Amino acid sequence: MDEEKKLLITRRPEYAAGMKAVVISMKNIFARMPKSKSFKVLNKLNKKEGLDCPGCAWPDPEHRSKLGEYCENGVKAIAEEAMDARATPDFFAKYSVEELKTKSDYWLGQQGRLTHPMILYPNTTHYEEITWAMANKLIGANLKALDSPNNAAFYTSGRTSNEAAFLYQLFVRMYGTNNLPDCSNMCHESTGVALSKTVGIGKGSVTLDDLYKSDLILIFGQNPATNHPRMLSSLEKAKANGAKVVSINPMKEIGLVKFKNPQTIKGIIGGGTSISDLYLQVHINEDVALLKAVMIKLYERAKTNPLILDEDFIANKTAGYEEFKADLDKQDLTTLVKRTGLLESEIDTFADLLAEHKNVITCWGMGLTQHVNGVDNIQEVVNLLLMKGSIGKPGAGTCPVRGHSNVQGDRTMGIAERPSKELLNKISENFGFTPPQEDGYSVVHAIKAMHEEKVKVFLGMGGNFLSAAPDTNYTAEALSKCNLTAHISTKLNRSHLTHGKTALILPSMGRTDRYMKNGKSQFVSVENSMGVVHTTQGLLQPPSEFVESEPVIVANIAKATLDQDKVDWDFLIEDYANIRDLIEKTIAGFENYNERLKKPLGFELPNGARTGNFTTPNKKANFTVNKVSENNCEEGEYLMMTTRSHDQFNTTIYGLDDRYRGVFNGRMVVFMNEDDVKSMGLQKEDLITLYNNYDNIERVVEDFAVVPYDIPKGCLATYFPEANPLVPLGLQAHSSHTPSSKSVKVKIRKSKAIS
């Protein structure tokens, strides 16, 4: 990949995937590792008892394709982790931290796997090698020196296994804090909050089988062709069974239009499968307005055909219906329709589809969660499902599509800054200490606390906190104020370069690495987006003898920090089955954990909403009253979303193309409606500056090239993390505190010509 190549903006392709996806994925992996090694891993990828893909959390089907049950982006995730390149101590001796800061995220990633624990001492310029023993001692000493355990924050990113996550939260709580901010806070937290309140479980209710049985699938704010590519195969199967699909998304995402499945003859030589029967290009953050409008129209249709609604379900299984209905009756349809930016006839077609079909599934991604009213968005989706009685029965329900491959499992294991009383009681019962009871810091709270110098030690279990977080400049200041920042990482990233007074990089094994203990190869377990827990086993030689597995790293930090004898950390890491025995005792739903993991497909966790047993306090599914968004842009203001390109996994940049949107060799772009481009006197590829002014602070990013695109007027799209400096920390969802990175008001001006 050549970073010097000129930006190229072309027409979008007509479909997603096809043979091109296969060719590109193979090119990508062969550029990073030998063919023999590539095939060795790919042969095991997503096989029963094999290696779980480190990419997204989309579940594996029961019957796996002989051609390989993985996608282009799964291959890229493997290649990025298992690549042959190495960032050794020599590399760190060659480049100062200041020099590394000038490099792109893509370049940093291409330097390869980390091989040794490294330290940056105060007031020095280069990372140097350190032993594990010294590194652990330093972390322990820094943690012990704090006035209160609440002066430390312990971040987690969602690739961490169940075993490592369980040990990590146990260590953190024994140390004495619930400061466990998590990538979930920036991701599906709004989902967790909304679903817990309305249906009693913060996870989705459907299985893959439900998708195949559904008659109508609604996909809100999600781009599966890039972020959950195998979801397209599941949608193809659902469509073959007769399901209709409606996509609700401001941007025209090509994978939601047409898919060519490279695993079928039809996909290779045929015309492919049309995915969406209806594509609603709603204005950014007007999903509540759209849902209200379509629900009003459903009631109109129900006057002549009451069977459209499930009155029995509403009467027997739900609460809050009167308030919900009374509020809906007060809404003005014309105003709602106007807010959506859609034609009323499009909303009529949507209402007809909803009226004609009984079993509805709603899928959603970051397009619903990352708004100030993110929780309202999801609660309103639930209202629609409840009207239709479409939850708790086959072929219907909620399907939030999770991001990281084990983000859901990490939460189940107790990575939570607001833990349930049930979890805390179990910990106290099993481990003989009283865990902290007060809420800890979420991501945005942790950033503020670091900035205010209330948090002085930051430990990251995976992830790239600086680049993932909002308000990049403020977050950088916050991290710089810490005494110690330490990251357990597989690859070099920007969070290692904006650091506390002392900084540590602790090299970790990833999914693909084989972990041997006492001559036995250990496996770990993970939970997918549909609540199925199963094993994953690495098979490659780790990058160096100094790279440790995550549970071992946690156990050794715990030993260096805690003066206790309640947990025998060495025994736990002797055999990971010992950790699973403790999980079984502590976390509901994990009875016979070790035994049940022997089943090739793993096992399903209990899910009340799936069976119609709502575990809310009133034992009902709850209707709610939700407000439409409060985004009213003034003249010259746009609403900007930050989204993913096809060549990235969050802050890891695999390449510089976004081929499904026709953009090549560049990421500093802004997608804009063609009329807006014209009315601003701009042209394709003009460089513009984006800026805003929240809380009297001007936030600015410069030199983004204009890409005219099929997106509603008044809406802009940029890539994450390049546009994160524009997302104010204070702009966050009510109740979930998720940064509002999909609706940021910005203004634009032409950048000064570079002479």
SS3 706: strand
Binding mask 176-215 for ligand SF4 (x = CB under 6 A): ----------------------------------------
Pairing of strands 484-489, 502-507: parallel
By a kind-dependent CB cut-off of 5 to 8 A, residue 414 interacts, out of ligand MGD, ligand SF4, Mo ion, none, with: none
The answer to whether 342 contacts ligand SF4 (rule: CB under 6 A) is: no
Residues 735-754 that bind ligand SF4 (CB under 6 A): none
The answer to whether 46 contacts ligand MGD (rule: CB under 6 A) is: no
Kindly provide the b/e burial profile for residues 538-572, where b requires at least 16 CB atoms within 10 angstroms of the residue's own CB.
bbbebbeebbbbbbbbbbbbbbbbbeeeebebeeb
| DSSP states along 237-294 | HHHHTT-EEEEE-SS--GGGTEEE-TTSHHHHHS--EE--SEEE-PPTT-HHHHHHHH
Report which secondary-structure segment, H or E, holds 421: helix 421-431
- The number of residues that bind Mo ion (CB under 5 A) is 2
Extended strands (E) in 80-226: 86-87, 113-114, 118-120, 128-129, 152-156, 216-220
Q: Could you tell me which residues are beta bridge partners of residue 643?
A: 719
The answer to whether 586 contacts ligand SF4 (rule: CB under 6 A) is: no
Report which secondary-structure segment, H or E, holds 687: strand 687-694
Binder of ligand MGD out of 353, 488, 555, 656 (CB under 6 A): 488
By a kind-dependent CB cut-off of 5 to 8 A, residue 230 interacts, out of Mo ion, ligand MGD, ligand SF4, none, with: ligand SF4
Tell me how far apart the alpha carbons of residues 600 and 62 are, in angstroms, rounded to a whole number.
10
Residues 115-154 that bind ligand MGD (CB under 6 A): none
Binding mask 359-388 for ligand MGD (x = CB under 6 A): ------xxx--x------------------
The answer to whether 576 contacts ligand SF4 (rule: CB under 6 A) is: no
Q: Taking a C-beta distance cutoff of 8 angstroms, is the pair 416, 113 a contact?
A: no
The answer to whether 367 contacts Mo ion (rule: CB under 5 A) is: no
The answer to whether 478 contacts ligand SF4 (rule: CB under 6 A) is: no
Stretch that binds ligand SF4, among 55-63, 247-255, 306-314, 373-381 (CB under 6 A): 55-63
Stretch that binds ligand MGD, among 134-142, 321-329, 508-516, 676-684 (CB under 6 A): 508-516
Binder of ligand MGD out of 179, 549, 626, 652 (CB under 6 A): 652
Q: Of 373 and 512, which CB lies nearer to ligand SF4 in the complex structure?
A: 512
Residues 548-567 that bind ligand MGD (CB under 6 A): 550
**With 0-12 CB in 10 A as exposed, 13-18 as middle and 19+ as buried, what is 325?**
middle
Stretch that binds ligand MGD, among 19-27, 167-175, 219-227, 329-337 (CB under 6 A): 219-227
- The dihedral region occupied by 226, where left means phi > 0, alpha psi between -120 and 50, and beta the remainder, is alpha
The answer to whether 251 contacts ligand MGD (rule: CB under 6 A) is: yes
Tell me how far apart the alpha carbons of residues 623 and 611 are, in angstroms, rounded to a whole number.
18
The answer to whether 492 contacts ligand SF4 (rule: CB under 6 A) is: no
Q: Which two tokens stand for residue 23?
A: 């060719």
Phi, psi of 116 (to 5 degrees): -135, 150
The answer to whether 259 contacts ligand SF4 (rule: CB under 6 A) is: no
CA angle 244, 248, 250 (to 5 degrees): 145
The answer to whether 71 contacts ligand SF4 (rule: CB under 6 A) is: yes
The answer to whether 187 contacts Mo ion (rule: CB under 5 A) is: yes
Tell me how far apart the alpha carbons of residues 492 and 371 are, in angstroms, rounded to a whole number.
30
CA angle 407, 731, 478 (to 5 degrees): 75
Task: Compute the least distance from the CB of residue 681 to ligand MGD, in Å.
Answer: 26
Which of 417, 468, 421 minimizes the C-alpha distance to 648? 468
Stretch that binds ligand MGD, among 122-130, 487-495, 567-575, 593-601 (CB under 6 A): 487-495
Residues 388-417 that bind Mo ion (CB under 5 A): 403
Site residues for ligand SF4 per CB under 6 A: 46, 53, 55-56, 58, 70-71, 73-74, 77, 228-230
Site residues for ligand MGD per CB under 6 A: 55-56, 73, 157, 159, 183, 186-187, 220-223, 226-228, 248-251, 253, 282, 284-285, 287, 365-367, 370, 403-404, 461-465, 468, 488-491, 493, 508, 510-511, 550, 641-644, 648-652, 720, 724, 727, 741-742
Site residues for Mo ion per CB under 5 A: 187, 403
